[in-house]
């Protein structure tokens, strides 16, 4: 099964992708995570990505298409994957169609998570994750069971993304509205699109997604 989780930054794509990964055995392909790995490696592309991400802008389409094309050829994607953060522009959506057709793969549901803009800002500015295993948390909405200890791996170290500040969030939301929102009707016209209320609690969103893909 190939799914796309679509929606603005902070709508819950990563949170839900990780849950689907566990329950369905699908691999989460987060282009944001891939770019952050490139930044950490210090590669030339990583240095470019750091500037673009900190400005809240989008990386060039050719680079992102190349990254995804190579990634979906990896053996762990053979049983299906969830795209989280890709496609983000119409050229990326068109390139994905071609990539999948060339590989005789069929796109399943495109799940749009709808969340109010002010809620997005609150979600993003309160987001943090385990520095060791990457499990996601939120200051208010998703706290570890034991204060300061990761539920998943027991680590006591956490980190926040440098682009998760209010100013960059506004730029990222503007980029979403200007460049990404137009792919919602693109998938609507193709018949893959399903809209889900992303304002619900995390568990209720998961239940809604499970209902759509089962």
Q: Which does 81 bind (CB under 5 to 8 A by kind): ligand ADP, ligand AMP, none?
A: none
By CB under 6 A, residue 86 contacts ligand AMP: yes
For ligand ADP, the binding residues in 19-48 under the rule CB under 6 A are none
The 132-171 contact track toward ligand AMP, x by CB under 6 A, reads ----------------------------------------
132 labelled catalytic? no
CB of 21 to ligand ADP, least distance (A): 12
Which of the following is catalytic: 18, 50, 88, 123? Answer: 88
Identify which of residues 2 and 149 has a Cβ nearer to ligand AMP in the complex.
2
126-133's contacts with Cβ under 8 Å and 24+ in sequence apart are: 127/10, 127/160, 127/161, 127/164, 128/158, 128/159, 128/160, 129/158, 129/159, 129/160, 130/155, 130/157, 130/158, 131/155, 131/157, 131/158, 131/159, 132/157
Among 19, 50, 88, 123, binds ligand ADP (CB under 6 A): 123
Task: Report, in angstroms and rounded to the nearest whole number, the Rg of the chain calculated over CA atoms.
Answer: 17
161 labelled catalytic? yes
By CB under 6 A, residue 11 contacts ligand ADP: yes
Among 2, 4, 15, 93, binds ligand ADP (CB under 6 A): 15
19 labelled catalytic? no
Identify which of residues 137 and 186 has a Cβ nearer to ligand ADP in the complex.
137
């Amino acid at each position: 099964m190939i799914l796309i989780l679509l929606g603005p930054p902070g709508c819950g794509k990563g949170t839900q992708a990780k849950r689907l990964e566990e329950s369905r055995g699908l691999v989460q392909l987060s282009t944001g995570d891939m770019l952050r790995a490139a930044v950490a490696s210090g590669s030339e592309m990583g240095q470019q990505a750091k500037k673009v991400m900190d400005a809240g802008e989008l990386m060039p389409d050719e680079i992102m298409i190349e990254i995804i094309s190579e990634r979906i050829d990896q053996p762990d994607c053979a049983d299906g994957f969830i795209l989280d953060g890709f496609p983000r522009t119409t050229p990326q959506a068109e390139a994905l169609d071609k990539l999948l057709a060339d590989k005789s793969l069929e796109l399943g549901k495109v799940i749009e998570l709808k969340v109010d803009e002010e809620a997005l800002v609150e979600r993003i500015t309160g987001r943090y994750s385990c520095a060791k295993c990457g499990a996601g948390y939120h200051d208010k909405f998703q706290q570890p069971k034991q204060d300061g200890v990761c539920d998943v791996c027991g680590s006591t170290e956490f980190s926040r993304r440098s682009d998760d500040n209010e100013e960059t969030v506004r730029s990222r939301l503007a980029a979403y509205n200007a460049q990404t929102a137009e792919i919602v009707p693109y998938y609507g016209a193709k018949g893959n699109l399903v809209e889900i209320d992303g304002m619900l609690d995390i568990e209720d969103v998961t239940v809604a997604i499970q209902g759509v893909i089962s």
